[in-house]
Structure 1
């Protein structure tokens, strides 16, 4: 996509969508009141508003390489600031961490040595914040074929980030008082389907019109 196409899109948005939704944007100009914090990967193939069919103002979104959330206290990070703002200032009651199939970040995490020279900043990000996932996967599933190993890494990474979320004082407090629920999702690009982690069976299951809260992730198994 060229910059010309982007500008054409801006014009189309202003002349069509914005005009027919002017009242909504006038309301949004005064304040935001999103209901869900949606944390996902920067990958261009996943669009939170598109796959959830959400309108402007409904999702508060955090995106980065690998949908990674550093644990509380691990340096100053924009992810932590965004989480704190969403939960404390916006009173978010639902947090979704959504990974996706064929994730390049997870593929890189499994072969992290090759990144050091070519993309040192990506290497540092994954090595520092992705090591728990990498170690878990390689120590427990190293005999799996590469495609299965990648799938396991994608799933375990999302579960690791849920655990990291639970290290935030504001998150633990809200969960304890039943004011907040956490959800672990995997978006499958090739099928358009979303799989949610069901803690009762320790598996990701296709999401069928109901959420799967994940309050306890002590037992974690990959889907079959």
Structure 2
């Protein structure tokens, strides 16, 4: 069975070379010949259904991406960590101009926050999810009458994205660049079923859809 999976991956590599790489070979060669200069850092969920490069129609070298369970951003603590290192490198070394935290529909991490017993046998996951518990507390404290599970999940997904933006600004590299006007920030929610994206710009609490026309909420 594992060999079948490997063969599927190898077939995908062949299709990539024939259908994606070959028509854009010069673009890839150019990207390889110069240092990367991505314009945006995107913190996305590790969910296999979320393909950030495809969603944004980005080519090689355009977006710097880090993914983790729940698209979480630990508040800066001075303790080295993977997400912290990515943020620092993206802002300080690469000079990205925009930061994104991208959540999505049907997120397993958000479901786990709502049902903490579901991660009892995954202590590492359970510990990691504590970075999302402030968002959970907000949702629980503002419970709406007759709110169903799907509505609560959708609301938690949005609140969590906004909470992670707050965490992002605690990182010194981000705080400095943002205060100096060299950096902008936004939160996204990607709907897997419809392929749509809603965006909350920094300081906004509502997520506006990106429509077929130019602009956000246009």
Alignment of 1:111 onto 2:111: no
1:92 and 1:32 map into 2 onto residues whose CA distance is 11
2:101 and 2:128 map into 1 onto residues whose CA distance is 18
Q: Against the structure 1 CA distance between its residues 189 and 112, is the aligned structure 2 distance closer, same or farther, given a 3 Å change threshold?
A: same
Alignment of 1:171 onto 2:174: yes
Structure 1 residue ranges without an equivalent (≥5):
213-224
- Identify the residue that residue 52 of structure 1 maps to in structure 2: 56
Q: Against the structure 1 CA distance between its residues 202 and 12, is the aligned structure 2 distance closer, same or farther, given a 3 Å change threshold?
A: closer
- Identify the residue that residue 210 of structure 1 maps to in structure 2: 215
Q: Against the structure 1 CA distance between its residues 75 and 134, is the aligned structure 2 distance closer, same or farther, given a 3 Å change threshold?
A: farther
1:129 aligned to 115, 128, 131, which one? 131
Structure 2 residue ranges without an equivalent (≥5):
none
Deviates more, 1:73-82 or 1:145-154: 73-82
1:179 and 1:87 map into 2 onto residues whose CA distance is 10
- Identify the residue that residue 78 of structure 1 maps to in structure 2: 82
2:38 aligned to 12, 34, 40, which one? 34
Give the drift of 1:189.
Answer: 1.1
2:119 and 2:60 map into 1 onto residues whose CA distance is 36
1:69-97 alpha-carbon deviations (Å, 9 max, x no partner): 00011632100100110011111001111
The number of residues matched between the two structures is: 210
1:127-166 alpha-carbon deviations (Å, 9 max, x no partner): x312211211112226522111101110000000000001
Contact 1:183 1:211 in 2 (8 A): no
1:125 and 1:60 map into 2 onto residues whose CA distance is 22
2:203 and 2:90 map into 1 onto residues whose CA distance is 28
- 3-state secondary structure, aligned to 1:62: strand
Q: Considering only aligned residues, what root-mean-square deviation do their CA atoms show, in Å?
A: 1.9
